[in-house]
Chain A
């Protein structure tokens, strides 16, 4: 079975802190995604990556950056956390040619 793991289930940070969210998949998938999920807004794509060191902006990239140094790991970085970045963050991965995404359990981030 595909396994996608995220470094933390719950995270509390202060405004202005730099925050790293890590995602690891164990199935050699090329494509990886970061979403945020907010009530009433569904899932919105922040960034995605289709290969090592490659990244593309999603629908709401402002305030975020990403890093993909290894195929199995995709990191989401909040350079200076703000309260409006309080949300549920979901990572997903997919292999090329197959269009079903596998999701991690999510990280619930609270920025105070």
Chain B
């Protein structure tokens, strides 16, 4: 079962611009995570935001979470060509004893130099 849906499916911006990706989910969560995947490679964890948090920062990344709307956004500021990748949100259910993540379909970000 798919929990997260990312929007947009694809995004193309110029280097230096900000990139915003959105994620919507369906059920209650313990936390929401964002991952990045370079073409043909595994996923790398970027940031985790808990259900009782509204905003979190890590370097050029800013994540917001609105549990009333069941949505999250990932903002990458001052984008670089190296940020070109697919970005996925993933959720963990409350009391998720098995740490099972449910992934969305991803946003493909292309940063043009």
Say yes or no for B78: interface residue by CB 8 A criterion: no
Residues of B65-113 at the interface with A, using a CB-CB cut-off of 8 Å, are: 88, 90, 92, 96, 98-106
Say yes or no for B33: interface residue by CB 8 A criterion: yes
Q: How far is the CA of A94 from the CA of B45 in the complex (A)?
A: 12
Count chain A residues whose beta carbon lies closer than 8 angstroms to a beta carbon of B.
Answer: 30
Q: Are A100 and B33 in contact (CB under 8 A)?
A: yes
Contact residues in B for A31 (Cβ distance below 8 Å): 98-99
Quick one: closest A residue to B1, CB to CB?
A: A59
Q: How far is the CA of A105 from the CA of B42 in the complex (A)?
A: 4
Inter-chain contact total with CB atoms closer than 8 Å: 66
> What's the minimum C-beta distance from A25 to chain B, rounded to whole angstroms?
12
Q: How far is the CA of A64 from the CA of B41 in the complex (A)?
A: 22
Contact residues in A for B101 (Cβ distance below 8 Å): 33, 45, 99, 101
> What's the minimum C-beta distance from A77 to chain B, rounded to whole angstroms?
20
Which of A13-21, A35-43, A66-74 lies at the interface?
A: A35-43
Q: Are B98 and A103 in contact (CB under 8 A)?
A: no
Q: Are A42 and B99 in contact (CB under 8 A)?
A: no
What string of 1s and 0s marks CB contacts (under 8 Å) between A38-80 and chain B? 0011111100101000001011000000000000000000000
Say yes or no for B20: interface residue by CB 8 A criterion: no
Q: How far is the CA of A50 from the CA of B98 in the complex (A)?
A: 7
Q: How far is the CA of A108 from the CA of B40 in the complex (A)?
A: 8
Say yes or no for A90: interface residue by CB 8 A criterion: yes
Contact residues in A for B4 (Cβ distance below 8 Å): 42
Say yes or no for B48: interface residue by CB 8 A criterion: yes
Q: Are A42 and B103 in contact (CB under 8 A)?
A: yes
Name the 3 nearest CB pairs between A and B, nearest first.
A103-B42, A42-B105, A43-B103
Q: Which B residues form the contact surface with A (CB < 8 A)?
A: 1-2, 4, 30-31, 33, 35, 40-45, 48, 88, 90, 92, 96, 98-106
29 residue pairs of the A-B complex, CB under 8 angstroms, read: A4-B42, A31-B98, A31-B99, A33-B100, A40-B105, A42-B2, A42-B88, A43-B88, A43-B103, A50-B98, A56-B98, A59-B1, A92-B43, A94-B99, A96-B99, A99-B31, A99-B33, A99-B92, A99-B99, A99-B101, A100-B48, A101-B43, A101-B99, A103-B43, A103-B44, A104-B42, A105-B41, A106-B40, A106-B41
